[in-house]
């Protein structure tokens, strides 16, 4: 049956190649991925999936299901397909989305025998206001037994952790005045921003090593001879757990409140993107994926352990509600990091497309193992429940 799954994916590989290339050459920002959504769902419909577009009122989200009409587990594959401003698909999401529909289609060829359901979820805007956050909050994934996706990378890497993250915006409101003739009549909003940065820099020596706080000034005034009456800073606050991010975020907000008090400005605090939870890899499921990757010809020595350097993922929110994995697959031989022009070209290369097929087959085989091994599924769930209880 595993051979049948692999053959089904191979048979359609030209279709998958065309879809990934089309998405890669037509990059769309988060929640604007109409072309990508249509390209992916058209293939799923052709392969017998029932498709709903607009899940959770997200216009470019979708839910696709292949129901065997027999009892059994539900396997979920997560598709991403948003691009980056100016860089296009420099994170390889053109491969991710296509890889997940290929995995779902491959596994669907086996469920008539195994029972169960295969789901493919279109999850827009991972780079900003991640669709998985909304979908997880609304319980879309709660019925799944496992969830998985594979991310392109410069090497094969096991699923590991990601950083929880908050995206905070500070708006300072002051009073404009002529900076030379009447500076005493002004209240400098930019000073509020600068004091916030200084206070956060002082805070860094009193947080744990896993914390990352980084920000930019998006508005700092219009002219040097006018006291700025409006200034804005945006920060990401990250740490290895949601609980510690919550703690550090409150300290960062205190820095901004103190800056407002010191400069006489008024302050508005908001979130400019969604908060992401930390990724909780299900190790049992991850081991099954790794074993299947090896069975498809990847040497065990070339698969590295997670290095903890992948930033933040909205897949983390999925992993809080269902056993999940987010491993990485090699698409290039050189060290190209994500969000670069070089990585974008790798995601459009022949090697990238071959990796996409390999990742799809590995996920599909992993799903098959879960469908056919009740003892394995029980072990996956026991680990998930133990992790949540902590």
CA proximity to 16, closest of 96, 99, 93, 78: 99
210-228 per-position pLDDT tens digit: 999 999 999 999 999 999 9
Share of the chain above pLDDT 70, in %: 100
| 389 has pLDDT over 90 | no
> Could you tell me if 317 and 121 are in contact, meaning their C-beta atoms sit under 8 angstroms apart?
no
pLDDT at residue 388 in the model: 85
| 8 has pLDDT over 90 | yes
- Which distant-in-sequence residues (6+ apart) come within 8 Å of 74 by Cβ? 116, 117, 118, 119, 143, 144, 145
pLDDT at residue 306 in the model: 82
Overall average pLDDT of the 276-304 stretch: 96
DSSP-derived 3-state class of residue 338: coil
Task: Name the band, by pLDDT with cuts 50, 70 and 90, for residue 245.
Answer: very high
Structure-block tokens of residue 12: 């359609």
Mean confidence (pLDDT) of the chain: 96
pLDDT at residue 308 in the model: 67
DSSP-derived 3-state class of residue 50: strand
What is the pTM assigned to this prediction? 0.91
Task: Name the band, by pLDDT with cuts 50, 70 and 90, for residue 337.
Answer: confident
């Amino acid at each position: 049956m595993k051979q049948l799954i692999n053959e089904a994916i191979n048979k359609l590989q030209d279709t998958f190649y065309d879809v990934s290339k089309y998405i890669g050459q037509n990059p769309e920002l988060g929640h604007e991925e109409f072309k990508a959504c249509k390209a992916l769902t058209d293939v799923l419909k052709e392969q017998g999936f029932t498709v709903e577009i607009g899940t959770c009122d997200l216009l470019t989200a979708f839910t696709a299901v292949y129901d065997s009409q027999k009892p059994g587990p539900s396997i979920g594959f997560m598709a991403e397909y948003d691009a980056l401003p100016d860089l296009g698909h420099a994170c390889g999401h053109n491969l991710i989305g296509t890889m997940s529909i290929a995995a779902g289609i491959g596994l669907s060829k086996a469920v008539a025998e195994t029972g169960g359901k295969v789901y493919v979820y279109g999850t827009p805007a991972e780079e900003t206001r991640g669709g998985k956050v909304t979908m997880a909050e609304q319980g879309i994934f709660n019925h799944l037994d496992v969830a998985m996706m594979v991310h392109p990378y410069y090497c094969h890497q096991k699923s590991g952790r990601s950083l929880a993250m908050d995206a905070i915006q500070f708006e300072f409101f002051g009073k404009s005045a002529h900076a030379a003739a009447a500076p005493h009549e002004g209240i400098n909003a930019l000073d509020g921003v600068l004091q916030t940065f200084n206070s956060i820099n002082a805070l860094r020596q009193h947080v744990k090593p896993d914390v990352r706080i980084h920000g930019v000034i998006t508005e700092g005034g219009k002219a040097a001879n006018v006291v700025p009456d409006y200034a804005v800073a945006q920060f990401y606050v990250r740490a290895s757990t949601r609980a510690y991010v919550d703690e550090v975020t409150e300290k960062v907000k205190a820095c901004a409140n103190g800056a407002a008090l010191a400069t006489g400005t008024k302050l508005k605090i908001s979130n400019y993107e969604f908060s992401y939870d930390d990724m909780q890899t299900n190790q049992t499921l991850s081991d099954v994926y790794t074993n299947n990757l090896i069975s498809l010809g990847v040497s065990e020595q070339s698969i590295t352990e997670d290095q903890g350097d992948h930033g933040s993922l909205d897949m983390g929110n999925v992993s809080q509600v269902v056993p999940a994995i987010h491993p990485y697959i090699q698409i290039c031989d050189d060290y190209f990091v994500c969000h670069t022009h070089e990585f974008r070209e790798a995601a459009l290369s022949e090697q990238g497309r071959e990796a996409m097929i390999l990742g799809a087959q590995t996920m599909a085989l992993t799903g098959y193992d879960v469908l056919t091994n009740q003892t394995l599924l029980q072990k996956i769930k026991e680990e998930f429940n133990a992790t949540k209880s902590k």
